[in-house]
Every structure is written in C-alpha cells, then in structure tokens.
Amino acid sequence: MPSRDELMTRLAEVRDPEINMSIVELGLVYDIQAEENGDVLVTMTLTSPGCPLGPVIRGEAYAKLKEFPQVKDVDVQIVWNPPWDPRTMASEDVRMALGIW
C-alpha cells in the first residue's frame, strides 16, 4: 500500500481548474486514510460550497489515487466543516500567489 506521503504527492497533481493551483497546496485536502486492504478515504473541501467544478476535482482526485495498483477503492468525501480559509490552510506559496499576506 502506498504511504500517506505518496498518496498526498499524487493528490498534489490535481489542480483546482478555476485558479490552477494544487488542491494540496491550497489546503483543500483535510485528511487521507489508507487501509491495508486497499481502501482509501479522502476528506477534502472545495474553495466554496457553490464551486461548479467540484465534481471534476473530486473525479480527478479519485482517478489519481486509482493509478496506484495497490489501491482498490477510493472514497472522496467533500465536507464543509471546517470552512476553507486560505489564510490558515493554504501553503505560503499559494498565499503569496493569491495576494494573501
């Protein structure tokens, strides 16, 4: 089974299409759990509850993790609590790119 770091690295390849930044760097991925049986659970959010590209982002996250042959099932859960706040959840590079000081 891939490590948590390997799974997060793969998820970092998924970009929010509206702002073209990694969902990991944006701080949208809250948690990832992998079981020895190959099941992976991702808990994440979107930049806003009305994000029109939510299904696209969710689908890309699913597809990226399924690229690992050891991953049998992926469940990507979208949550709204805590609400996404780029001031505290995004990486420093993302905050700078978005103009958040």
92 within domain boundaries: no
99 within domain boundaries: no
How many domains does the chain contain in total?
1
58 within domain boundaries: yes
Which residue has tokens 């709204």?
80
- β-strands 29-34, 21-22 pairing: unpaired
Give the residue ranges of DSSP H helices in 1-101.
4-11, 54-66, 86-89, 92-98
Strands ordered across the beta sheet of 39-44: 29-34, 39-44, 73-78
**What would the pLDDT profile of 18-71 be if each residue is shown by its tens digit?**
999 999 999 999 999 999 999 999 999 999 999 999 999 999 999 999 999 999
Q: Which domain holds residue 38?
A: 4-86
CATH number of the domain to which 30 belongs: 3.30.300.130
91 within domain boundaries: no
Structure tokens at 15: 């970009």
What one-letter code names the amino acid at 9? T
30 within domain boundaries: yes
pLDDT at position 101: 72
95 within domain boundaries: no
